[in-house]
Homo-oligomer: A and B are copies of this chain.
């Protein structure tokens, strides 16, 4: 059996809701539409959240990979 690779986890999260935490402390929630090996990421219906509250609707977003700390599929 092949060992799981980190991008497999992102691949399984395609078209699902994910939570991103960025190096500038912001939290973005949206539907994961695309990513690449640099972890450049595209979200749809993205929203910025703070303390469990939505603070801004952002729509479609291209996020540069090197600004991302973590990506959590929200089950």
Measured CB to CB, the residues of A under 8 A from B are 3-11, 14, 22-24, 33-36, 39-42, 46, 58-75
- Chain B's closest residue to A14 (CB) is B3
Whether B67 and A67, one on each chain, are in contact in the complex, defined by CB atoms closer than 8 angstroms, is no
Whether B70 and A64, one on each chain, are in contact in the complex, defined by CB atoms closer than 8 angstroms, is yes
Q: What residues on B are CB-neighbors of A73 within 8 Å?
A: 59-60
Q: Which of B5, B9, B39 contacts A64 (CB 8 A)?
A: B39
A7-B40, A60-B73, A63-B70 given; 12 more Cβ-contact pairs under 8 Å? A4-B33, A4-B42, A6-B35, A9-B42, A9-B60, A58-B70, A59-B72, A59-B75, A60-B72, A62-B70, A64-B66, A67-B70
